[in-house]
Amino acid sequence: MPVDVVNITNDSRRNTVRNPCRFAALLVTTAAVLGTDLTRAETFTGRLNGYSCASGGHICPLDRLDPHIALETDFVLQTADGDYFFLTNVPRETKARYALEQIQVTGDLNSKYKTVVVDELNVERNGSYAPVWSQAGQMKEYKRFLETNQAGPAVGHAH
Average of per-residue pLDDT values in the chain: 80
pLDDT of residue 18 exceeding 70: no
Report residue 100's pLDDT band, with 50, 70 and 90 as the boundaries: very high
Mean pLDDT of 2-8: 53
Can you list the positions of beta strands (E) in the chain? 38-50, 75-78, 84-87, 102-110, 115-125, 128-134
pLDDT surpassing 90 at residue 122? yes
CA nearest 133: which of 75, 64, 84, 54?
75
Q: Which of 106, 110, 138, 99 is nearest to 122 (CA)?
A: 106
The pLDDT of residue 10 is above 50: no
